[in-house]
A = this chain, B = another copy of it.
Amino acid sequence: MKDTLSLTWENRFASRADHMKSSAIRELLKLAELPDFISFAGGFPAPEFFPAKEIAATIDGICDSQSLQYGPTEGYRPLRELWAQRLGRKVEEVLITTGSQQALDLLGKVLVEPGSTVLVENPTYLAALQAWRVYGAKFHGTELDQDGLQVDKLPDQGQFLYTIPTFQNPSGATLSLERRHALIEWSERNQMPIIEDDPYGALRFDGEALPRLVDLDPHVVHLSTYSKTLAPSLRVGVLVGPAQLICKLVQAKQATDLHTSTLNQRIAFELDSNGYIEKHVQDLRRVYKERRDAMVAAVRKHFPPHTKMIVPQGGMFLWVTMDPDFNSVACLERCVAHKVAYVPGNNFHPYGVDLHTMRLNFSNTQPEMIEEGIRRIAEEL
């Protein structure tokens, strides 16, 4: 009798559970823990630069009963005020989330009607696709190039547009200033909300900073995070958007996890408001630029001459395009056997086509190992 109950779980799953699948990246990461493995797969910051001492010292000063008690769903008020001030907004327009991934989940919960179409870049961040598929989203992907999303190819129907305009994941492309203006115009013309995901914006190595989409139009819903500038494990993200939307997202968040860890929010607040993060990010830029350069050079040296890549001006990823008949999934299997990994490009496409691209993360591997890793991949091409 008991065994029968145990065996029936699959029959008890709701139909939305059909859309839940384990992320290819997460499964790969399990292999990447083997010794001598070089992984370009995860989107991991450089662990040797985490400000562990600064975080521990900060906690010593703030670990009090307010930091440990239940807190407001909207977030730790001084942290919300900091972001309101930073973006010239009201505090009611700022919500703290449990990492940016939660912002994606909450937006899906509140905005995605089953069967509706979400507009995305093609390729795009795979966990956004995962988050919204669960709520029944269909996707329309619009291609991007060196200058980011091809705005003139966007359709004029959809629930909202999700874009990562700066150092896009996975392509590394950055939306040009001209296209930023064109995108806002398209949004106004079609009354189409834009969700701007900006996890990497602070990590610029080359070129001049461009205005965020939210700087050009306050109706844009802007997502930021401390995962790339401080530490992912804190799970502190920031969503800035119209108060009417925030209000509904807060209701959704109440039922989802009550609130984000106050202790972790206060760590982020202290190290952001005292200027530490700004200084720390300058170090990260230098370190990541060096790693990007090492990877670009290694790909040029070891990959076939007709390999195409977008050289990113910042962020954490290099996007490589091989011959049209190249199969990056099959190649990955060979690579993993030789202790190196990347993410095949098809994972970032809403409908899984495109087998001749790969995403290579450079932030998580020291420069001297980057060339070795690229060499290992090149041997399997």
Given contacts A101-B258, A233-B262, contact A65 B44 (CB under 8 A): no
Number of A interface residues in the complex (CB < 8 A): 95
A256–B131 CB distance below 8 A: yes
How far in angstroms is the closest Cβ of chain B from A100? Answer: 9
A256 neighbours in B (Cβ, 8 Å): 101-102, 105, 131, 256
Given contacts A69-B233, A110-B20, A264-B264, contact A257 B98 (CB under 8 A): yes
The digit string for A193-209, where 1 denotes a CB below 8 A from any CB of B, is: 10000000000000000
Given contacts A60-B60, A111-B14, A235-B261, contact A254 B134 (CB under 8 A): no
Given contacts A65-B48, A68-B55, contact A235 B257 (CB under 8 A): yes
**Bound Cα distance from A134 to B234, whole angstroms:** 27
B23–A248 CB distance below 8 A: no
A8 neighbours in B (Cβ, 8 Å): 191
* A1 lies within 8 A of chain B by Cβ: yes
A229 neighbours in B (Cβ, 8 Å): none
**Bound Cα distance from A299 to B71, whole angstroms:** 29
Given contacts A73-B26, A261-B261, contact A64 B52 (CB under 8 A): yes
Given contacts A47-B65, A110-B17, A248-B13, contact A233 B254 (CB under 8 A): no
A71–B251 CB distance below 8 A: no
Given contacts A109-B16, A255-B127, contact A263 B244 (CB under 8 A): no
* A42 lies within 8 A of chain B by Cβ: yes
Contact residues, A167-192 vs B (CB, 8 A) = 187-188, 191
Contact residues, A360-376 vs B (CB, 8 A) = none
The digit string for A124-167, where 1 denotes a CB below 8 A from any CB of B, is: 00010011011100000000000000000000000110000000
**Bound Cα distance from A133 to B127, whole angstroms:** 25
Cross-chain contact of A264 among B130, B193, B242, B261 (Cβ < 8 A) = B261
* A381 lies within 8 A of chain B by Cβ: no
Residue of B nearest to A74 (CB): B26
**Bound Cα distance from A259 to B65, whole angstroms:** 25
Residue of B nearest to A262 (CB): B233
* A123 lies within 8 A of chain B by Cβ: no
A110 neighbours in B (Cβ, 8 Å): 13-14, 17, 20
**Bound Cα distance from A262 to B66, whole angstroms:** 21
**Bound Cα distance from A55 to B104, whole angstroms:** 31
* A283 lies within 8 A of chain B by Cβ: no
* A260 lies within 8 A of chain B by Cβ: yes
Given contacts A14-B109, A127-B255, contact A63 B68 (CB under 8 A): no
* A320 lies within 8 A of chain B by Cβ: no
Contact residues, A71-125 vs B (CB, 8 A) = 71-73, 98-99, 101-102, 104-105, 109-113, 116
* A274 lies within 8 A of chain B by Cβ: no
**Bound Cα distance from A261 to B237, whole angstroms:** 12
Given contacts A12-B159, A71-B233, contact A130 B255 (CB under 8 A): yes
How far in angstroms is the closest Cβ of chain B from A80? Answer: 15
The digit string for A235-255, where 1 denotes a CB below 8 A from any CB of B, is: 100000010110010111011
Q: 5 interchain pairs (CB within 8 A)?
A: A16-B109, A70-B233, A98-B98, A105-B256, A261-B261
Ranked nearest first, the 5 interchain pairs of A and B with the lowest CB-CB distance are: A68-B231, A47-B65, A20-B251, A56-B63, A130-B255
Chain A residues within CB distance 8 Å of chain B: 1-2, 4-6, 8-10, 12-17, 20-23, 26, 29, 42-45, 47-48, 50, 52-53, 55-56, 59-60, 63-73, 98-99, 101-102, 104-105, 109-113, 116, 127, 130-131, 133-135, 159-160, 187-188, 191, 193, 217-219, 227, 231-235, 242, 244-245, 248, 250-252, 254-264
